[in-house]
Amino acid sequence: MPLEGEAREVIVKGSTLNAEEQTAYVATGSHGLAIVDASQFDNPIVLGQLDLSGDATDVAVDANLLIAAIASNSGWLQLVDVSDPMLPTPTQTVNIAANYLEANDGLAYVASSDEIVIVDLLTGEIITQRQYSGDNIDDMAIADNFLYTISRSGTSPQTINKIQLSERLTEAVDTLVIENRPTFGRLHIAAGGGFVYVGALQVGRSPLANMTIY
């Protein structure tokens, strides 16, 4: 689809009113946010686009509040009212260099370099923040009331932390170190069904994606 900017991340949300209705939210890099009616996969329709400062690398949406959180890196954390998908409206700019994020139960869990910051999506208030491994966080995922992070530092082993979801960040309840991590490229993480999935693409090498299940 022709969008302003570059598609860096896509998430899809269903409708509580219509089981066949799906909306895609796209973090569009140098532009900001795009909202797409993805109900028909072969006929997607752009509903609205919003120009935001910074480089939008990730997006998360609270389906109850209808607020989207966009990680814009040096453009900070942007909160956007998406109740009208044709007219997304900025509501808050939170002074966090947000790289990646997840949303759950009215809160945004934001990765900022080597820290996790919890932000109230309604007020934009920073509730708490904490450093875990001291390494840059590459990605995050939420499943079964746990937050999973994956972090790295140079060529050191990759570290996955499992953290209990709460307004007060606690010590990781479990940690996994991946010794044979790829030399190049950011690792992505997903979680669900009792598994954590880690995928890695060796940038500049052969186009081979390796998936490991823990």
Q: How far is CA 124 from CA 3, 24, 73, 121, 199, in A?
A: 28, 23, 16, 5, 32
The pLDDT profile of the chain, 214 residues, written as one tens digit per residue, is 889 999 999 999 987 677 789 999 999 999 999 999 999 989 999 999 999 999 999 999 999 999 999 999 999 999 999 999 999 999 999 999 999 999 999 999 999 999 999 999 999 999 999 987 668 898 999 999 999 999 876 666 788 899 999 878 888 898 888 776 555 567 788 999 888 888 765 544 444 444 444 4
Both tokens of 188, joined, read: 């992505």
| Of 37, 39, 56, the residue nearest 48 (C-alpha) | 37
pTM (two decimals): 0.87
Distance spanning both ends of the chain, measured CA to CA:
35
